[in-house]
Structure 1
Amino acid sequence: MFTDRQIRNMKPEAKIRDIRDGRGFGLRIKPNGTKIFFYGYDSPVTGARRFLTLGEYPGLSLEAARIKHASAYELVKSGGDPLETAQQEQADLKAAPTVKELGEDYLKRHAEANKKSWLEDKRILEKEVFPTWGRLKAQEITKGQVIALLDKVVDRGSPQTANNIFKIIRKMFNWAVKKDRLKTTPCTGIDMPAPLKLKERALSADEVKTVWHALDTGMNLSGEVIRAIKLILVTAQRPGEVSGMHTREIDGKWWTIPSERAKNGKAHRVPLSPLALEIIEECITQNKIAREVPDDQEYVGYIFPCPHRAKDKPIERHALSKALKRNESGDGLTVLGVASFTPHDLRRTAATFMAESGEMDEVIDAVLNHAKQGIIRVYNQFKYDSQKQAALESWARRLTNILTGTQSNIVPMQPKVP
């Protein structure tokens, strides 16, 4: 039987030399010194003589070569042909999707149809995953490669981005397994690369005042982004719902977020306070000027149109986060003069101030369009429109007092709930 020492000492000759070890296992030595393990056998399928390459020594160790030979030998004994099997596996691998092909299919067939945040999935795959894995076969991605990709993002100082990447690629691979595009997922047994960030940031009154005035100075922000960020704070609605606001959704002092844009899939009526209407009117005025709409005609379109895209597209929700990120300090600890925050933190800030003012939890949940839980989800269909209107108008007055540094002696009346 072969030994490592024996194989190392075998010298090449002028012609190819095959040395047998037993049961068809052998070593081929080429004139250039290359040493290749092989398995020679008679195919039980065709009867033809077969030569199956197992691998090159020392890249393939003697022990590993024996294991591969034993597997092929048992397959022949059971009536199979390992060479045909290997050729079929190679053909399957060649036809298998690359990570980029699988990712694009996942976006088209799953994310776009089922996730309101599918554009974020697309952005992360295109920026963080495809450049590294795009040309690799999806079925060859290993657990180690997943960990290496995530560790690289953590090491560059973006742990929460690493978490988001992992959530998306885990979902993509799980979807591929469910659709029988892959047999297994390389994400099995991998934990989140970084501790989950608690979503509890709410700005203080002083921070709200600082941020608002910083927005008024312009900073490194476009007018659309500035007004969208303000409107999130004033209305307490989700950043993506605000950024996609359209004139057709506004009727007088009410803004109706359609079901297809609402996170919980339910249409949501938002009362617009005088401060909210003022911001919206400013947007419309600027849009009329930018679009050269005659004074005697109404502006119809997105309240926050993207200046860098087609006119019928709004700014993306992610553009708000990126805008704040651009204004962070070098150490990433402050933005616009206060401790770092996200657009969604402004929604939480508004809810926190409403709670401090004595608004009932049910009313705040109604303002935020949170889905009802438990039995109340079935039996409580009350919409709280008047209560929402009172709460948001009270919050607008409180916000104005914060910005101007004045105090109001008016205590808002709480409407009775039937």
Structure 2
Amino acid sequence: MALTDTALKALKPRERTYTLADERGLYVEVFPTGGVVWRYRYRLNGKQEKLSLGKYPDLTLKNARLKRDEAAHAVAMGESPAQQKQLAKAGRAAATTVAEFGEKYFREIVARDWKNVTLPRRYFDKSIIPAIGSKAMKDVSAEDARSIIWRKKEEGFDAAAGALRGVLKRMFDYAITCGVATVNPVSALPMRHVHKAKPRERTLSPAEIRTFLRAVDESNIRRQFKIGLRLILLTMVRKSELLLARWEHVDLDAAEWHIPVEHSKTGKPHIVYLAPQAVELFQQLKRLAGGSPLILPGRAHPEKPFAHNAINSALKVSLAGQDIPAFTVHDLRRTASTLLHEHGWSSDVVEKALNHTIGGVRGIYNRAEYAPQRREMLGFWAEFVGRPSHQEQTV
């Protein structure tokens, strides 16, 4: 008996998948999840084949019958509609460009697995798209990937080159899963040949801190970066936390900076207690922000933050020609931690100020926030950082 619209609307899922026939090979398959799919069964050259036509109710009974009739005509001409569909699908996949598939990858994988998509998105938009965005995924070669990655290395950013390789590698892994590519061109470029991460141990001595701050103040980098570098040292925050910070998160009267969950690496909100020196730096940034909601608004787009590497570059420029071993922005956090520990501050207080997650049993049972101690410690730290060189030995 042929199906009717009334019968289709009344379909209910069961524990197991079942089918209901219409006529001339057309039928619906009903899944336990409630999904309903139109299929057409036919024989060609003595062999039974099956063709998926679409989902009900998106594909109505009337239109499903029309698609069945089109497929039946192909069968009568000795053609396989199922094979034609596979060839058409393969053709679309073969023509998929890097730009097109990248959007799918970010929508389906990155948005699901990454808490903060800013960095992978920036690598994709700034490095991958300009180089191979219009190229079909299947045509991307190992040389294409090498060229993109090595360009970043030649700029002096080995760690960024490694991160860029990671974005490309994972995107092509997913492309293979989706049938858009058959090989991963990045597999020919082992990470050990791109960037080998080393445990960092660099900390600045008190004398190096003075040299660093003097070099920053005397450099020609943007005023916002001069303040930002000093603020990272005083507050012990991560670079990304400052770049993403908004004025709505800062209460200068209470001398508190509230870092929301979405900006925190630990996935938990964090409060930074501001010493008077830090409050003054925020006040300077407020005047420079020009009404932007961001604490460090980008130069061209006040509604968007500076690029992730902007402060790195500013530090590199300010240290050029200085008699001080190289260090990174992140090393400022390690420096603060090391010197505060050396001056007797509790490890729990220091770790909480750094917004670190304390592991093990202590981390499970110790829920203390140490607010008064952190406020006192950050006040001491700001005084210590601003202390003239001749007073270092009196600490």
Matched, 1:302 2:294: yes
The counterpart of 1:405, out of the listed 386, 390, 393, is: 390
Contact 1:244-1:316 at 8 Å conserved across structures: no
The counterpart of 1:268, out of the listed 257, 267, 270, is: 270
Residue number in structure 2 paired with 1:226: 226
Cα deviations by residue, 1:270-302 (Å, 9 ceiling, x for unpaired): 111122112112223444xx45xxxxxxxx833
In structure 1, what is the Cα distance between the partners aligned to 2:344 and 2:244?
31
TM-score for both structures, normalised by structure 2? 0.68
Equivalent position amino acid for 1:227 in 2: I
Residue number in structure 1 paired with 2:337: 351
Matched, 1:246 2:246: yes
Cα deviations by residue, 1:172-212 (Å, 9 ceiling, x for unpaired): 23344556655654444752123224333222222211121
In structure 2, what is the Cα distance between the partners aligned to 1:148 and 1:285?
42
Matched, 1:257 2:242: no
**What is the percentage of aligned positions where both structures have the same residue?**
26
Which sections of structure 2, spanning at least 5 residues, go unmatched?
A: 1-43, 46-78
Distance 1:282 1:131, change over 3 A: closer
Residue number in structure 2 paired with 1:208: 209
Residue number in structure 1 paired with 2:196: 195
Residue number in structure 2 paired with 1:6: none
Contact 1:220-1:323 at 8 Å conserved across structures: no
| Aligned pairs (5 A) from 1:63-102 | 88=88, 91-94=91-94, 96-102=95-101
In structure 1, what is the Cα distance between the partners aligned to 2:297 and 2:222?
11
Residue number in structure 1 paired with 2:14: none
Residue number in structure 2 paired with 1:124: 123
The alignment covers a number of residue pairs equal to 316
Return the offset for 1:107. Answer: 3.3
Contact 1:268-1:369 at 8 Å conserved across structures: yes
Equivalent position amino acid for 1:131 in 2: P
Distance 1:158 1:86, change over 3 A: same
Return the offset for 1:224. Answer: 1.3
SS in 2 for 1:135: coil
Contact 2:93-2:180 at 8 Å conserved across structures: no
Distance 1:143 1:327, change over 3 A: same
Say which structure is richer in helix: 2
In structure 2, what is the Cα distance between the partners aligned to 1:190 and 1:139?
17
Contact 1:256-1:269 at 8 Å conserved across structures: yes
| Aligned pairs (5 A) from 1:33-52 | none
Residue number in structure 2 paired with 1:104: 103
The counterpart of 2:356, out of the listed 363, 370, 373, is: 370
Equivalent position amino acid for 1:254 in 2: E
In structure 1, what is the Cα distance between the partners aligned to 2:157 and 2:297?
29
Equivalent position amino acid for 2:353 in 1: V
Residue number in structure 2 paired with 1:65: none
In structure 1, what is the Cα distance between the partners aligned to 2:245 and 2:298?
12
The counterpart of 2:374, out of the listed 388, 393, 396, is: 388
In structure 2, what is the Cα distance between the partners aligned to 1:190 and 1:142?
11
Moved more, 84-93 or 362-371: 84-93
Equivalent position amino acid for 2:310 in 1: A
Distance 1:88 1:243, change over 3 A: closer
Residue number in structure 2 paired with 1:319: 310
TM-score for both structures, normalised by structure 1? 0.65
In structure 1, what is the Cα distance between the partners aligned to 2:176 and 2:367?
40
Contact 2:224-2:288 at 8 Å conserved across structures: no
Contact 1:150-1:162 at 8 Å conserved across structures: yes
Return the offset for 1:269. Answer: 1.2
CA-based RMSD of the aligned residues comes to: 3.5
In structure 1, what is the Cα distance between the partners aligned to 2:288 and 2:154?
43
